[in-house]
């Protein structure tokens, strides 16, 4: 029988003690297994750039620091291992956190930038460790089993939540994961305008779809290569739950990119196996479609109507379909697979053989997809899935929105081209550069976000790192024997699936997903066969790698402990305030957190809020001063942070400190060009300041009036711009000229001695509903401006007088105002 070999290969790299594990190897395995099982249930270690999600991330950094020390031990044990050029990658990978370190010098948010550095160091440690250890066959196999096993657990966890068994599912993981007050895992199932969407541990269906796609192809790969009956049964049984879960995410990006990744992966599989992949996916896909309507309907009942009575029925459908699929897949592997291998053995030796079926299959799949979407066949699917399929086009909102994100990213990059704006730059700065008032703390592309954070220097290094690994992997894959190919091909599947999907989503913002990718890249690097090192001595590489791991490990260990302490103190402060209302105890915890991490905006905002509350209750100026000092001190380290600025604005508003309020709103207006509330307050306080200046130095008032008029023009131009958005694109937050904006602009013109222009500014925003006080006031100022201009608008004058006769006197007061030009 064919072995699908392409030629001779290097013998497998094994340590001398290949028949048993050393204590260090056991330490590596136990630690890896624990983190790969623990981390997905910590919301996938989502780096959401806020304190709610940060503590588990710091624990993962602490675990990575321990792995760094263990990696040194592994490295020192590899005395007789042949070192080649691929070992330089263990040094190259540390350029990634280094570029984040450089970009932190120009960071928009020092807090987020520091977090990003340590996350990248974590990735680097996992890469090096996998590169060093997966040459050992048993370790390699255990890592792959752990990755796959934890993924399968995530799939069943998601389906339990979908079918209304969220509490039993939470009971399994509640002792090490965070649950909501109802005893459920938060947002395992999304409910939005499209209906329920399965998200499992990630709280985000699109990332879950990317994750499922990766492990779907891994399952098919194992199914077509394993010789063990148990392994065959497990992987074939999982095909239906995985495909079902992908469809229940309602992820359009997942459905669009799944065939792309499938074709890329198939290019590395021999023709006989390609056919087997397609057959297995066809069987499992058909089995999934048979049960899809029923399972989808049960999920809708659970999450829209609160009914979980059909849960057992759902499980029966899933388990029976999975069992039938497993049996059919076994028949295919038992009888069809050997026959295909014999028949296509000669054909498989042709250079272009691997490409024929994927390319041809892509064309056929495209035709079938068009046929499906263009006919009534799509109506056989559940309505939620059918409508999502029908909406796949380039004029759809999510596509247009992503294009906008990417364009806005390039505006940001233009201001920080070389080194970027540091980790978390998009979250910290996107409002300044956005094309319309959307809300998204993620750039929805790993590569665009990386470019924004590290600039072209960091981006080029990332592309070079990935390019070298993939190029060398492909070269080694061609020359390797089948056994070695199969030993590492799962890593290629996982890394490729996630990295391709990350072109248009923020999967890599989940540290758990990033760990999987860098473990996979390390596994790919371990399979690379290159020429021995010539110019650099192997011991030099080993010493340099060990030194970097040691330094990184020490820094990560100490820093993560401190960050965990700060995060825990902040959580205790919050809990203490809720449960006991004890100000002093709460403040003690907060001060401890801020002493360790003074750059965290939420820590400072919380402390300032406490001082503000006490000031409100007691009127003690010392508490007000402390609140102001806390916010100012934090803003020195996080300039432009919206949370801190809004707290400062509230503080000054409470005390009526218009001079300080004006400075904050004026100095930071350009940071928030689409914040309607910001501009409303800005124009109002600027007018009040202008009136004060008019009383003191009338000749200076026009500087303030010009600011108000410019602000109105900015908002009006923004409103006109929003009208140019493509038809399918939503504008995001509300953005319009408010009554008070128009009125303040009109008053500014009047104070400039230009009542005619003031009337023109106010006229478009007049409202017939004069029972509303704001509408009535605007109309009053408008009529007063027309009288000043010598052309009274009699219609609106009469409306006001008929509404309230006293308006006549008020209008005369406005009309009688005179100011120096």
Interval 703-723: pLDDT, tens: 999 999 999 999 999 999 999
For 284-431, list the strands marked E by DSSP: none
Structure tokens at 319: 């388990």
Interval 537-561: pLDDT, tens: 767 888 899 999 999 999 999 999 9
Q: How far apart are CA 514 and CA 116, in angstroms?
A: 12
Higher pLDDT, 271 or 54: 54
* pLDDT of res. 6: 31
Q: How far apart are CA 284 and CA 282, in angstroms?
A: 6
* pLDDT of res. 128: 96
The region that residue 537 occupies, defined by phi over 0 for left and psi between -120 and 50 for alpha, beta otherwise, is: beta
Residue-averaged pLDDT of the chain: 90
* β-bridge partners, 510: 46
Number of CB atoms found within 10 A of residue 410's CB: 12
* pLDDT of res. 131: 95
Interval 161-210: pLDDT, tens: 999 999 999 999 999 999 998 899 999 999 988 889 999 999 999 999 99
Interval 356-407: pLDDT, tens: 666 666 666 666 566 555 555 556 667 666 666 666 666 677 888 999 999 9
* pLDDT of res. 357: 67
Q: Could you tell me the pLDDT band of residue 124, with boundaries at 50, 70 and 90?
A: very high
Higher pLDDT, 117 or 482: 117
674-821: CATH topology is 1.25.40
* pLDDT of res. 271: 85
Structure tokens at 83: 């070192």
**pLDDT higher than threshold 60 for residue 348:** no
Distance in Å from the first CA to the final CA of the chain: 96
Parse the chain into domains and list their residue ranges.
23-549, 598-655, 674-821
**pLDDT higher than threshold 80 for residue 8:** no
Interval 234-281: pLDDT, tens: 999 999 999 999 999 999 888 889 888 998 998 898 888 888 999 999
The pTM (predicted TM-score) of the whole model is 0.93
* pLDDT of res. 9: 37
Q: How far apart are CA 391 and CA 409, in angstroms?
A: 26
State the DSSP H helix or E strand holding residue 610, giving kind and residue range, or none if neither. helix 601-618
What would the mean pLDDT of 414-443 be, rounded to a whole number?
96
Is residue 59 within 8 Å of 560, Cβ to Cβ?
yes
Residue of 483, 467, 482, 458 lying closest to 525 (CA atoms) = 467
**pLDDT higher than threshold 70 for residue 221:** yes
């Amino acid at each position: 029988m064919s072995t699908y070999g392409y030629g001779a290969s290097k013998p497998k790299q094994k340590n001398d003690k290949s028949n048993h594990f050393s204590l260090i190897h056991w330490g590596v395995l136990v630690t890896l297994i624990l983190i790969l099982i623990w981390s997905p249930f910590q919301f996938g270690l989502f780096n959401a750039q806020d304190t709610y999600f940060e503590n588990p991330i710091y624990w993962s950094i602490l675990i990575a620091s321990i792995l760094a020390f263990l990696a040194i031990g592994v490295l020192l044990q590899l005395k007789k291992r042949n070192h080649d050029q691929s070992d330089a990658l263990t040094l190259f990978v540390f350029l990634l956190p280094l570029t984040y370190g450089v970009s932190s010098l120009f960071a928009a948010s020092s807090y987020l930038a520091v977090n990003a550095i340590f996350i990248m160091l974590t990735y680097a440690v996992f890469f090096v460790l996998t590169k060093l250890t997966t040459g050992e066959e048993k370790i390699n196999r255990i890592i792959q089993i752990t990755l796959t096993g934890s993924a399968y657990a995530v799939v069943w966890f998601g389906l339990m939540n979908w079918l209304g068994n969220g509490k039993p599912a939470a009971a399994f993981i509640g002792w090490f994961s965070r649950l909501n007050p109802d005893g459920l895992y938060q947002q395992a199932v999304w409910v939005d305008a499209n209906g329920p969407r399965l998200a499992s541990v990630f709280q985000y269906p699109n990332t879950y779809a990317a994750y499922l796609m990766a492990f779907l192809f891994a399952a098919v790969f194992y199914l077509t290569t394993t010789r063990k009956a148990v392994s065959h049964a497990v992987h074939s049984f999982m095909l239906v739950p995985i495909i079902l879960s992908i469809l229940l995410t309602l992820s359009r990006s997942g459905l669009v990119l799944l065939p792309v990744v499938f074709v890329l992966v198939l290019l590395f599989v021999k023709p006989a196996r390609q056919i087997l992949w397609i057959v297995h996916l066809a069987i499992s896909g058909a089995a999934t479609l048979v049960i899809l309507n029923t399972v989808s309907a049960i999920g809708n009942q659970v999450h829209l109507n609160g009914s979980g009575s059909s849960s057992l029925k759902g499980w029966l459908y899933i388990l029976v379909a999975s069992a039938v699929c497993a049996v059919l897949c076994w028949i295919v592997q038992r009888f069809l697979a050997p026959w295909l291998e014999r028949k296509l053995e000669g054909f498989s030796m042709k250079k272009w053989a691997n490409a024929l079926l994927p390319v041809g299959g892509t064309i056929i799949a495209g035709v079938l997809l068009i046929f499906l979407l263009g006919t009534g066949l799509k109506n056989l699917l559940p309505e939620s899935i059918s409508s999502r399929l029908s909406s796949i086009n380039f004029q759809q909102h999510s596509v247009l929105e992503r294009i906008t994100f990417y364009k806005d990213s390039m505006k940001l990059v233009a201001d920080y081209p070389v080194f970027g704006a540091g980790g978390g730059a998009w979250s910290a700065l996107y409002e300044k550069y956005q094309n319309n008032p959307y809300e998204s703390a993620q750039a929805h592309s790993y590569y665009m976000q990386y470019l924004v954070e590290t600039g072209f220097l960091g981006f080029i290094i990332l592309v070079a790192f990935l390019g070298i690994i993939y190029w060398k992997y492909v070269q080694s894959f061609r020359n390797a024997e089948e056994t070695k190919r199969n030993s590492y091909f799962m890593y290629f599947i996982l890394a490729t699936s996630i990295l391709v999907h990350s072109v248009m989503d923020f999967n890599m913002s989940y540290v758990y997903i990033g760990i999987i990718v860098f473990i996979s890249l390390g596994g790919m690097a371990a399979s690379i066969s290159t020429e021995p090192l010539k110019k650099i001595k192997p011991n030099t590489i080993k010493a340099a790698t060990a030194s970097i791991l040691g330094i990184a490990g020490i820094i990560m260990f100490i820093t993560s402990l401190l960050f965990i302490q700060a995060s825990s103190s902040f959580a205790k402060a919050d809990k203490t305030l809720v449960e006991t209302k004890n100000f002093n105890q709460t403040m003690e915890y907060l001060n401890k957190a801020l002493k360790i991490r003074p750059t965290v905006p939420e820590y400072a905002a919380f402390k300032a809020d406490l001082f503000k509350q006490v000031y409100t209750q007691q009127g003690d100026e010392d508490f007000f001063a402390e609140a102001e000092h806390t916010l100012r001190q934090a803003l020195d380290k996080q300039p432009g942070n919206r949370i801190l600025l809004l707290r400062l604005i509230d503080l000054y508003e409470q005390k009526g400190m218009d001079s300080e309020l004006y400075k904050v709103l004026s100095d930071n207006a350009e940071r928030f060009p689409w914040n309607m509330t910001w501009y409303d307050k800005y124009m109002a306080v600027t007018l009040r300041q202008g009136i004060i200046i008019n009383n003191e130095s009338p000749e200076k008032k026009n500087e303030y009036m010009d600011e108000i008029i410019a602000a109105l023009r900015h908002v009006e131009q923004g409103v006109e711009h929003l009208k140019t958005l493509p038809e399918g694109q939503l504008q995001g937050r509300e953005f319009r000229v408010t009554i008070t904006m128009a009125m303040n602009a009109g008053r500014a013109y009047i104070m400039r001695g230009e009542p005619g222009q003031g009337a023109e500014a106010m006229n478009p925003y007049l409202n017939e509903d004069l029972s509303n006080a704001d509408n009535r006031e605007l109309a009053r100022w408008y009529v007063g401006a027309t009288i000043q201009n010598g052309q009274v608008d009699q219609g609106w004058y009469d409306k006001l007088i008929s509404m309230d006769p006293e308006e006549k006197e008020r209008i005369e007061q406005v009309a009688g105002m005179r100011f120096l030009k």
